[in-house]
A and B are shown apart, each in its own frame.
Chain A
């Protein structure tokens, strides 16, 4: 199911949803009742991610990224996905390499030769919104307005390969850039703590965690740790996302692996180097087979491909704890 619709202007396609259509989705389809939503990654992805969906994620490939959810999307071979790509080094090459993603709003395309070559070969179409432009589109989606103005993108070629527009600002009379609201089909957030209802806490910085949760049709939270609901009411300043925005909660210790989870575990640089080194279809195929297809789920991946000793070592290396509580 693809919510909203794809608009086309010349060579440029973009996702756009009328704010009232999104509001009606929120009225009719988003539950307000505090009910347990704890499911497996397999169940969450099967239920809430469909072929053709637009997905966004927070934070980065190397820090607090929803890597176990991305691997599950690949395992289920979702098709024709459109990614809003920021701080993504490996997710975009993996999703394109597995045949899951066909369009990318950039952001930051990804790292290494594989994804660059895929663009050159025409296997994936890109549109250039820039990081700030995409974040603002998601903020517009989160504010329930059809667009927001900004004083960047102007004068750049990104304007020609996105649907950003220049108009005369009615207040200053100067040219101003508008970017359309983005309401992704699905947002993936990997968090430090969540309760079974979907209340979630991130410690540290983020890209647009709350904005993406507000703007997206469906929200899947994966959490290192499941905590009691009362914890949130004891310290509300630390709530990143309240439960009623969230559709599914997945308990995913080491869910950011091979990236780091601040104050929990460090990056596995050796594994990251293997991802960085992927250049050919053969290498991509081998990586996906070994790390995704040949294991049933995240737990089996950790058990058989990472191992307790490695995880213990990565935990030991996470010595910076100030600020992350």
Chain B
């Protein structure tokens, strides 16, 4: 039955990210929004996914609500299969056991290269400085398929990133392997607050796959500083479901520190 659903751009981004995670697989989860995506997915869709965190938690089942900012606290490491440390955690990704990696980003370019280090100016004299790689570089280098979760804002989708913190397809097909990165790895999806992108098999360029129900392709593309490729048929992504919104608002983030954002609506 058609009705209007109201949600924030952040809630939509998290919800569509959660729908992408495959059950029975492994996923290396980055700090911040990816943690929330993984929690929602585990709660609603993928009880048998094994999450892995760089601080050495293998297969935790996080306690809700999410304690903002934490990584490695007792809530995030609850009911793990194994507790280790960072060098061992990255061994699981370096040997190919991590099917997916999931990362946030400040900026992303058409090849899925990620900047999380600085914006504007130069490295020594940046206009704005951010936290840097954390473990993002390892996740993007090692995991078979990397999912990037990023707000759909023009300044974030740029022809060239200001600093290449974590590798996408670098400058095109074969570039990862030529650089010495593990064969057959790379960015897989870009989940935004308006759309979903993949990467073209041949050119390795970002390709618009689907948009939030009710948005046009132009509305999505005009906000980007580069023009993505377009899939032959652009799909439609339903807005967050009642279950997704309930779990996000009542169980994961009742204080609404994470899920607040720009208000949106779509036909449910």
Q: Which A residues contact B (CB, under 8 angstroms)?
A: 11, 59-60, 62-63, 86-87, 89, 106-111, 115-117, 119-120, 122, 126, 128, 130-133, 135-136, 139, 150-158, 160-161, 166, 169, 174-177, 204-211, 260, 262-263, 267, 269, 272, 276, 318, 320, 322-324
Q: Enumerate chain B residues within 8 angstroms of A205, measured Cβ to Cβ.
A: 55-57, 72, 77, 83-85
Q: Enumerate chain A residues within 8 angstroms of B84, measured Cβ to Cβ.
A: 205
A/B interface sample: 24 pairs, CB < 8 A: A62-B71, A63-B73, A86-B86, A111-B131, A119-B118, A120-B128, A126-B132, A128-B132, A130-B135, A131-B133, A131-B138, A132-B86, A132-B137, A150-B94, A154-B141, A158-B133, A158-B137, A158-B165, A205-B55, A205-B84, A206-B56, A206-B86, A207-B85, A269-B67
Q: A120-B125, A154-B180, A175-B180 are in contact. Are A320 and B133 (CB under 8 A)?
A: no
Q: Are B167 and A136 in contact (CB under 8 A)?
A: no
Q: Are A62 and B70 in contact (CB under 8 A)?
A: yes
Q: Are A318 and B71 in contact (CB under 8 A)?
A: no
Say which residue of B63, B87, B131 sits within 8 Å of A211 (CB atoms): B87
How many whole Å from A84's CB to the nearest CB in chain B? 12
Q: Does B127 contact A (CB under 8 A)?
A: yes
Task: A175 to B183: give the CA distance in the assembly, Å.
Answer: 12
Q: Are A135 and B90 in contact (CB under 8 A)?
A: yes
Task: A61 to B84: give the CA distance in the assembly, Å.
Answer: 19
Q: Enumerate chain A residues within 8 angstroms of B167, measured Cβ to Cβ.
A: 154-156
Q: Are A156 and B137 in contact (CB under 8 A)?
A: yes
Q: Does B54 contact A (CB under 8 A)?
A: yes
Task: A40 to B216: give the CA distance in the assembly, Å.
Answer: 65
Q: Are B74 and A267 in contact (CB under 8 A)?
A: no
Q: Are B85 and A206 in contact (CB under 8 A)?
A: yes
Q: Does B175 contact A (CB under 8 A)?
A: yes
Q: Does B79 contact A (CB under 8 A)?
A: yes
Number of interface residues of B (CB under 8 A): 58
Q: Enumerate chain B residues within 8 angstroms of A166, measured Cβ to Cβ.
A: 180
Q: Are B132 and A272 in contact (CB under 8 A)?
A: no
Q: Does B226 contact A (CB under 8 A)?
A: no
Q: Does B124 contact A (CB under 8 A)?
A: yes
Q: Enumerate chain B residues within 8 angstroms of A263, measured Cβ to Cβ.
A: 74
Q: A128-B132, A131-B134 are in contact. Are A322 and B164 (CB under 8 A)?
A: no
Say which residue of A60, A110, A156 sits within 8 Å of B166 (CB atoms): A156
Q: Are B179 and A154 in contact (CB under 8 A)?
A: yes
Task: A116 to B117: give the CA distance in the assembly, Å.
Answer: 10
How many whole Å from A322's CB to the nearest CB in chain B? 7
Q: Enumerate chain B residues within 8 angstroms of A115, measured Cβ to Cβ.
A: 129
Q: Are B73 and A267 in contact (CB under 8 A)?
A: yes
Say which residue of B57, B71, B129 sits within 8 Å of A87 (CB atoms): B71
Q: Are A260 and B74 in contact (CB under 8 A)?
A: yes
Q: Enumerate chain B residues within 8 angstroms of A11, measured Cβ to Cβ.
A: 124
Give the residues from 134 to 186 in chain B that come closer than 8 angstroms, CB to CB, to chain A. 134-138, 141-142, 163-167, 170, 175-176, 178-182
Chain A residue nearest to B31 (CB atoms) is: A108
Q: Are A152 and B142 in contact (CB under 8 A)?
A: yes
- New A-B pairs, 18, CB < 8 Å, besides A119-B129, A135-B90, A320-B75: A59-B55, A62-B73, A116-B130, A120-B125, A122-B125, A128-B133, A136-B87, A152-B94, A152-B181, A155-B175, A155-B180, A204-B77, A205-B72, A206-B85, A207-B86, A267-B67, A269-B67, A323-B77
How many whole Å from A6's CB to the nearest CB in chain B? 18
